[in-house]
Amino acid sequence: MANQVESVKTYLEPDLLDRMHRYWNASNYLTIGQIYLQENPLLREPLRPEHIKPRLLGHWGTSPGLNLIYVHANRLIKDKDVNAIYLAGPGHGGPALIANVYLEGTYSEVYPKISADSEGMRRLFRQFSSPGGVPSHVSVPTPGSIHEGGELGYVLSHAFGAVFDNPDLLAIAVVGDGEAETGPLEGAWKSVKFLNPARDGAVLPILHLNGYKISGPTVLGREENEEVSQLISAHGYEVFVVEGDDPKTVHQLFAETLDICYAKIRACQEDARQNGFSSRPKWPAIILRTPKGWTGPKVVDNIPIEGTFRAHQVPVSDVQNNPEHLKILENWLRSYKPEELFDEEGHLLPELAELAPKGERRMGANPHANGGKILVELDLPEFKGYALDVKHPGTEHQESTRQLGKYMRDIFTRNADQKNFRLFCPDETNSNRLGNVFEVENRCSVGKIIDIDDHISPDGRVMEVLSEHLCQGWLEGYLLTGRHGLFATYEAFAMVSDSMTVQHAKWMQEGIKLPWRAPISSLNILLTSTCWRNDHNGFSHQGPGLIDTVLSKKGSIARIYLPPMPIACWRSRIAASAVKTMLT
């Protein structure tokens, strides 16, 4: 079931291995600096209590793994000229990703005050987890991010949404073993069943098992490799396992595994693009098992830290007051040998800096992660052409969403060349009365298709899956990479993913404040089958809560449109009810 490359010593040349390891050291060093230091960023003088932040906040545990993957992705990108973005599922991986986009130069371009020198590094450290600074998870202010840590469960759906209709794009999606316990994440593995290798890009999921959440073990972290591999394989992947705690060995294993996976992805795509789509490939996925808080303090106060849940956040605390703890921190920081990573002025040494890709190939600068930069306006028909001719008021029963279906049919037609519009629908397009889209478009599936099926094709752009989380997550990923779409759902069940709606609204609200983030298209939610017409379905189908949830958002972020018809009519069971909630 699981593939594992043999322990190799020579896959990476010694010089490259040494430099990659030091680059990783640099990112780990910067991660720790963000958690602990307010002064003396390069440790040019002995560490003293006043160099330490007064309140220690942040999450070390997941960071070394995230850093390792970033450094290796950089090598792959440079080596094969890969167009890649990085999605960090683990909630509090913020300092790791910030460290890497800082090292590659993107961060200082976006935030000139955080310059690539010792003063910039000092500011980088001080802003982290401070009021008015940057939060402890990957978020909107992090260049290269389309995925916020915090509310867990959506890294795979965002990643797949990003690569739909992006044939050239690779989304490296790191799934933490905490996040892997959520329902939405477990439900998102099946996205490969909607991914067309001829038309779409690829996602490389990396399930990072470090064994613990805040204080308890993770479910998958306690399973044998063979068991976890069986699960991911059963979801439709070819699984590769990389496991270890010796950094140089893991570097060798991970480098070779990443190359194998990338070659497999390209082979799937080339086959489908040259010979046409035939059947769903088994896409590669990696299980990476490394210690929690890897390379951190092994023992503090006679209690084991590295490899345990105690490495989740701040592995050694009370540093200002406890001289022994201060010494542990200093030794830990010095173990990365900052003097072999940065020069006197705090610049990353040139032989390390050259390991990062250049320009828009840097994952922090990839325009797909700042989708507004590559957004092509949707060509919309004049909506007046879809008006119903009502000869006498109150004489006809019509459903407004049927007219919308015609409108959307024509959106599909007018934008067919751009391939930048999709419809997402958990409770199915016909039931939402949008069926006219099937005159020109199909449901998407790369599974088996049989004679009696109705408008299903691996080329379809109508995404039907009975998961509000998956529909909404895909759409968010699609929008954040600069495309357009609509999520149509029964009103009651829009609440299933309403926390995602709220998180997306917050993302938009923060994004507006960042001039370097180009505006993206709105998240359009069409509420159908509203509560007033559900007496036969019963109470479970009656829940107008999404409007309540969206109403509390600022008018600059969210708008609610109610259908233009008399209330008396709207409440009648015959009237079709369409409520459009728009996050702009």
Residue list 547-566, contact with its own copies (CB under 8 A): 548-549, 552
Binder of its own copies out of 100, 308, 415, 577 (CB under 8 A): 308
Distances 251 to 28, 241, 258, 372 between C-alpha atoms, Å: 15, 13, 10, 35
Kindly tell me which residue out of 97, 155, 492, 526 binds its own copies, with binding defined by CB under 8 A: 492
- Choosing from 14, 46, 183, 566, the residue that interacts with its own copies (CB under 8 A) is 183
Q: Is 457 in the site for its own copies (CB under 8 A)?
A: no
Beta strands in 357-436 (DSSP E): 421-425
Nearer to its own copies, 117 or 468 (CB): 468
8 binds its own copies (CB under 8 A): no
User: Should residue 298 be labelled a site residue for its own copies when binding is judged by CB under 8 A?
Assistant: no
Q: Which residue from 430, 457, 572, 584 is in contact with its own copies, where contact means CB under 8 A?
A: 430
In the block, tokens 């922090």 appear at: 364
Q: Is 130 in the site for its own copies (CB under 8 A)?
A: yes
Q: Residue 409: which of 423, 424, 390 has the closest Cα?
A: 423
3-state helix, strand, coil in the chain (%, to 5): 40, 15, 45
**Contact call for residue 541 and its own copies (CB under 8 A):** yes
How far is C-alpha 447 from the chain's CA centre? 25
Q: Which residue has the tokens 């559900």?
A: 534
Single out the segment in contact with its own copies by CB under 8 A; choices: 78-86, 116-124, 399-407, 543-551: 543-551
* Single residue of 73, 328, 495, 523 touching its own copies by CB under 8 A: 495
Q: How many CA atoms lie within 13 A of 96 on its CB side?
A: 28
Which range in 69-77, 108-116, 257-265, 464-472 contacts its own copies by CB under 8 A? 464-472
**Footprint on residues 388-427 left by its own copies (CB under 8 A):** 427
Instruction: List binders of its own copies among 15-74 (CB under 8 A).
Output: 55, 57
Determine, following the binding rule CB under 8 A, whether residue 362 of this chain makes contact with its own copies.
Answer: no
C-alpha distances in angstroms, 53 versus 33, 125, 195, 321? Answer: 10, 9, 46, 12
- Which is nearer to its own copies, 129 or 415 (by Cβ)? 129
CB of 508 to its own copies, least distance (A): 11
Q: Are 132 and 158 in contact (CB under 8 A)?
A: no
SS3 539: helix
* 302 forms part of the interface with its own copies (CB under 8 A): no
Three-state DSSP class for 475? helix
Return phi, psi of residue 66, to 5°. Answer: -60, -40
Is 447 one of the binding residues for its own copies (CB under 8 A)? Answer: yes
- Among 124, 543, 557, 576, indicate the residue that binds its own copies (CB under 8 A): 543
Among 148, 165, 200, 256, interactor with its own copies by CB under 8 A: 148
By CB under 8 A, name the one of 182, 249, 322, 418 that touches its own copies.
182
Q: Which residues contact 517 (CB under 8 A, 6 or more apart)?
A: 140, 370, 372, 511
Instruction: Find the binder of its own copies among 90, 105, 144, 184 (CB under 8 A).
Output: 184
Q: Is 306 in the site for its own copies (CB under 8 A)?
A: no
Confirm or reject binding of residue 120 to its own copies (CB under 8 A).
no
Instruction: Give the footprint of its own copies on residues 510-539 (CB under 8 A).
Output: 510, 535-539
Name which of 119 and 510 has its Cβ closer to its own copies: 510
379: contact with its own copies by CB under 8 A: no
Compute how many other C-beta atoms are within 10 angstroms of the C-beta atom of residue 1. Answer: 15
Phi, psi of 3 (to 5 degrees): -105, 145
Least Å distance, CB 253 to its own copies, is: 24
| Binders in 197-236 for its own copies, by CB under 8 A | 213-219, 222-223, 227, 230-231, 233-235
292 binds its own copies (CB under 8 A): no
Choose the stretch contacting its own copies; rule: CB under 8 A; options: 11-19, 68-76, 130-138, 260-268. Answer: 130-138
Token pair for 235: 């979801």
Residue 4 or residue 230: which is nearer to its own copies going by CB?
230
When asked if residue 139 is in the footprint of its own copies (CB under 8 A), the reply is yes
Q: State which residue, 358 or 573, has the beta carbon closest to its own copies.
A: 573
DSSP string covering 263-324:
HHHHHHHHHHHHH---S---EEEEEEE--TTTTS-SEETTEE-TTSGGGSS-SS--TTT-HH
H helix runs in 104-244, sequence order? 106-110, 118-127, 155-163, 183-188, 225-234
Residue 359 interacts with its own copies (CB under 8 A): yes or no: no
Report if residue 111 touches its own copies, rule: CB under 8 A. no
Tell me the closest approach of the beta carbon of residue 161 to its own copies, in angstroms.
Answer: 15
Q: Is the CB of 13 or the CB of 454 nearer to its own copies?
A: 454
Strand order across the beta sheet in which 2-3 lies = 2-3, 237-243, 283-289, 202-209, 169-176, 83-88
With contact defined as beta carbons under 8 Å apart, do 441 and 410 qualify? no
Q: Are strands 83-88 and 237-243 parallel, antiparallel or unpaired?
A: unpaired
Q: How far is the CB of 526 from its own copies (least distance, A)?
A: 16
- Which phi and psi angles does 129 have, rounded to 5°? 60, 25
Which residues 313-342 are close enough to bind its own copies by CB under 8 A? none
DSSP letter at 424 equals E
CB of 24 to its own copies, least distance (A): 25
- Do the beta carbons of residue 547 and residue 581 sit within 8 Å? yes
